Amino acid sequence: MAPRGDRRRHALPERSPARPVRSRPDGSEPVRDGRALLLIHGSAALLSLVCLGVTSWTGLEQRGIALAFGALVALGELARWYGPQVREAAPLGAAGALSYALLGEDAGRATTHGVAQVVSVVLAASLVGCVPHVARGRGPVFDHLARRVLTVGFAAVCFQPLYNSGAFTDWSGPAYALLLITLLALTALCDAVLAAAPAHLRTGWPFGPLLREELRGMLGIGSAVCATGAVMALAVAVVGLWALPVFCLPLLLAQVSVRRYAAVRTTYRQTIASLARATEIAGCTPAGHARRVAALSRAVGRDLGLSEAELTVLEYAALMHDIGQLSLVDPVPAGATAGLPDAEQRRIALLGGAVVRQTGVDAEVAVVVERQADPYPEQPPAARIVRAVNAYEEKARDAGPGGPLTALEELRLGTAGDYAPEVVEALARVLSREGLTLPSAG
């Protein structure tokens, strides 16, 4: 058995399981395609400059309305929050911006602002609201502002020119509400693309699963943002600007509820991480082994297109995959279960599943832990991933200077019966994105 220092040197670097691989000293994510990301930021910057120039040339129309909506957007940005898996950090700001983009009347009087003014007001208000967050070093700012500008610009371009030309003069009642809902649905799709694209360009994860996950997220806080934006635009058209503080209250309450739910989820995950450390404290596994397996498993699962809910189950199962070793009378040397006979691996996995069920963790997590040693054709996707990643981490840890390459080749040789081929190739892609030079699959 190699000294601990050698094992740690050849293992994967520790990192947060809920975040993508990081390689920069400042903690920012490595950009995989800088030119494409620059195109998104450049488009937002060009649109902003054009709109600011037009607004400066023509002047600000209906300043009271612009000030009211600008204050709402700025307040929403000031109240934005940060946390793991946050899809809309400033829901109130987003709803206010969409409402202004789709505003046609104010208390029965037609509005005269256009696309340029909408983008200019939203941009200025967003910048004001972001100042405290920038001062505290919290972000990301550029991605957020580019997404906000392009999304609001899309909604305004779809609505304002047609409305100002009189195309919607005869639209009233349910027809007008349906029009706004349709425009908001298109805007939500645009926003999902703009949210998934930077993540794809920065991390190299497949774009399709990222987009699907963003669209799933729209069913939560995203639908509340769209509904509030439509309701505020309709309400202001009837009763005026007094509708803004009234109709933003439900969204504020929803934001508080989401934050509390996120806090509970964070505490839940910390509890699971603490349980996972029990094997390390007992000397059954090397320090950091569970965290490394969880981080790499989550990256592999994302590469394979698992949903966020499936990734969460995968991460929890990977953190607790070795907990069955606590029930052993004679510990496995270095916790390396991948080299044990199949029957012994299954026994340890069943013991681990029984322990997980006693902790009150989701039953899906226990199933993954129990079935991690089954033949891979019979395993659920998460169990296939945990088995392959755990074997890779153990083999790479003790295989000497060429540990990662040797371990991956051993897994590829074992795809005939032990490890799922698609999982091994996804693992190779993830390791390649981390900067390791890997042999070809052939």
Strand, coil or helix: what is 106?
strand
Residue ending a domain, choose from 230, 262, 294: 262
CB 195 within 8 A of CB 205: no
Residues 379 and 332 in one domain: yes
pLDDT of residue 54: 92
**Strands 105-106, 109-110: parallel, antiparallel or unpaired by DSSP?**
antiparallel
Q: Write down which residue in 262, 288, 321 finishes a domain.
A: 262
For the chain, how many residues are written?
442
pLDDT at position 281, please? 79
Q: 321 and 366 share a domain?
A: yes
Long-range contacts of 280-285 (CB under 8 A, 24+ apart): 282/325, 282/326, 282/331, 283/331, 284/322, 284/325, 284/326, 284/328, 284/331, 284/332, 284/335, 285/322, 285/325, 285/334, 285/335
Give yes or no: residues 137 and 215 share one domain: yes
The CATH number of whichever domain residue 402 belongs to comes to: 1.10.3210.10
Alpha-carbon distance 301 to 199, whole Å?
Answer: 15
Please report whether residue 268 resides in a domain.
Answer: no
pLDDT given at position 155: 92
In a domain, 23, yes or no: no
Same domain for 63 and 182, yes or no, is: yes
Indicate whether 238 and 328 sit together in one domain.
Answer: no
Distance (Å, whole) CA 15 – CA 413: 28
Residue 314's closest CA among 385, 378, 261?
A: 385
Whether 20 maps to a domain, the answer reads no
Helix axes 308-319, 243-276, angle to 10 degrees: 30
Same domain, 219 and 305: no
21 in a domain, yes or no? no
Locus of tokens 């009642």: 173
- The DSSP bridge partners found for residue 106 are 109
Other C-beta atoms closer than 10 Å to the C-beta of 13 total 12
Query: Looking at the 3D structure of the chain, how many domains does it have?
Result: 2
The secondary structure element, H or E, covering residue 105 is strand 105-106
**Same structural domain, 349 and 404:** yes
Alpha carbon distances (Å) from 238 to 110, 234, 360: 11, 7, 51
Q: Do 215 and 306 fall into the same domain?
A: no
**Mean pLDDT split into 10-residue runs, the chain, 442 residues:** 37 36 39 68 91 92 91 85 61 88 86 90 90 72 84 92 81 79 87 83 76 77 81 87 84 76 78 80 79 89 85 89 75 68 81 82 86 83 89 76 75 75 88 57 36
User: What is the pLDDT at residue 117?
Assistant: 93
For residue 313, what are the domain limits?
277-433
Q: What is the mean pLDDT of the chain?
A: 78
State residue 268's pLDDT score.
80
Threshold 0.75, pTM exceeds: no
- 132 with 240, same domain: the answer is yes
Q: Can you give the C-alpha Rg of the chain in angstroms?
A: 26
> Is 211 in the same domain as 80?
yes
State residue 121's pLDDT score.
Answer: 93
Token look-up 């990256």 returns 299
